[in-house]
Amino acid sequence: MPIPTPKKEETQDDFIERCMSNDTMKKEYDDNDQRLAVCFSQWKKKEKKSMREPQIERREIPLSEFRVQRKDDEPLRFTGYAARFNSLSEDLGGFKEKIAPGAFRDTIEKADIRALFNHDSNYVLGRTKAGTLILEEDEKGLRIDNEPPNATWAKDLAVSIERGDISQMSFGFRTVQESWNEEGKIPIRTLEIVDLIDVSIVTFPAYKSTKVQTRELMERNDINVDAISRVLVKKEHDLEINESDRAEISEVVNKLNKLLPEDETVQQKEPPEDEIIQNEALSREKKLLLKQKKMIMEDK
């Protein structure tokens, strides 16, 4: 069994107590002071990890309810949803996800958020501070009302949306508060509070073709990509890695090892044990004969 690691909601005192009483720890570190030092080291790793700034993540939804509004003598407007509440995502690489109502409430009240094209800050469609982007939560999700600039590229974008050439809406965010449900085969993450970075109309979803190609390549070689992703997600978010996860990863490691060509240095195998014993016996016999020969010469 591995050394214990702190659980997500576990306090320092609770973890230290659990770590100190762990059978593996008692076996590996019978000295209490040494065991306590290792337990504190494990806790410090969690603290250091929690201090890191959350990475920016991106999620997409289809522009199924996105509208380009054109009215006489009025500016062009884009309206629709950048996110949906309580809608379970597809597999995002080891986990699925949904957004809780209220997840955007704080950030849209306080932050100065921009609407972009393809998450590119050179193509600003609107901004909350300028009043050209309105973000609000309703019962469905995060709704946007955007007045794009009177620029050729924005007008061309409107035409592309109407034609169906561009059909994805995305938002970038950092996670502030989340929860996890580990009851099923794949963990489900609920985004409870997020820090919204931007909303964006996108040509392509965030998953790049290279990621798809990597998955296809691994699946062709019978490598369980989902198992790898699931364990990495659990490790990243301090979730429990169970025996089933360990078995699947062990199987992946074995399959990967079989794909490796034999190392020439490994091919030079040591002789069998009986041959080694025989060689050692011959060496001892040779030394004995030389010693006897030397004694005979000295007697003469």
- Within a domain: 117: yes
- Within a domain: 149: yes
Per-residue pLDDT at 277: 58
Judge if 43 and 72 occupy the same domain. no
- Name the nearest CA neighbour of 180 among 230, 119, 224, 145: 230
The answer to whether 55 touches 115, Cβ cutoff 8 Å, is no
Q: What is the pLDDT along the chain (300 residues), one digit of tens a residue?
A: 567 888 767 888 998 899 999 888 888 888 888 888 988 888 887 777 666 667 889 998 888 778 898 887 888 999 999 999 999 988 888 889 999 999 999 999 988 999 999 999 999 999 999 999 999 999 999 999 999 999 999 999 999 999 999 988 899 999 999 999 988 888 999 999 999 999 999 988 755 544 566 677 787 888 888 888 888 888 877 788 888 888 888 988 988 888 887 765 555 555 565 666 566 666 666 666 666 666 666 665
Domain limits at 46?
12-50
- Name the nearest CA neighbour of 115 among 83, 147, 69: 147
Judge if 251 and 226 occupy the same domain. yes
Q: What are phi and psi of 165, to 5 degrees?
A: -70, -35
The answer to whether 97 touches 89, Cβ cutoff 8 Å, is yes
Six-digit token string for 271: 């002789």
C-alpha triplet 293, 299, 300: angle, nearest 5°: 95
**Cross-strand bridge partners of residue 188:** 96, 181
Query: Which three-class secondary structure state does DSSP give residue 17?
Result: helix
Non-local CB neighbours of 282 within 8 Å, separated by 6+ positions: none
- Within a domain: 75: yes
Judge if 159 and 215 occupy the same domain. no
Judge if 197 and 78 occupy the same domain. yes
Last residue of a domain, one of 165, 183, 205: 205
Q: Is 223 exposed, middle or buried (0-12, 13-18, 19+ CB in 10 A)?
A: middle
Using the Cα atoms of residue 251, residue 256, residue 260 and residue 266 in order, give the sign of their dihedral. Answer: negative
Give the Cα separation of 213 and 217 in Å (integer).
Answer: 6
Judge if 26 and 86 occupy the same domain. no
- Name the nearest CA neighbour of 26 among 14, 13, 15, 39: 39
- Within a domain: 69: yes
Judge if 161 and 191 occupy the same domain. yes
**Cross-strand bridge partners of residue 174:** 195
Judge if 98 and 18 occupy the same domain. no
Judge if 170 and 103 occupy the same domain. yes
* Domains in the chain, number: 3
- Within a domain: 145: yes
Non-local CB neighbours of 39 within 8 Å, separated by 6+ positions: 4, 15, 16, 19, 20, 25
Euclidean distance between the first and the last CA atom of the chain, given in angstroms as a whole number: 69
Query: Which three-class secondary structure state does DSSP give residue 187?
Result: coil
- Within a domain: 234: yes
Judge if 215 and 200 occupy the same domain. no
Give the Cα separation of 298 and 293 in Å (integer).
Answer: 9
Phi-psi region of 266 (alpha: psi -120 to 50; beta: other; left: phi over 0): alpha
Judge if 24 and 158 occupy the same domain. no
Strands (E), the chain: 57-62, 67-69, 77-84, 96-99, 114-117, 120-127, 133-137, 141-146, 168-181, 188-202
- Within a domain: 292: no
- Within a domain: 201: yes
Judge if 41 and 65 occupy the same domain. no
Judge if 98 and 175 occupy the same domain. yes
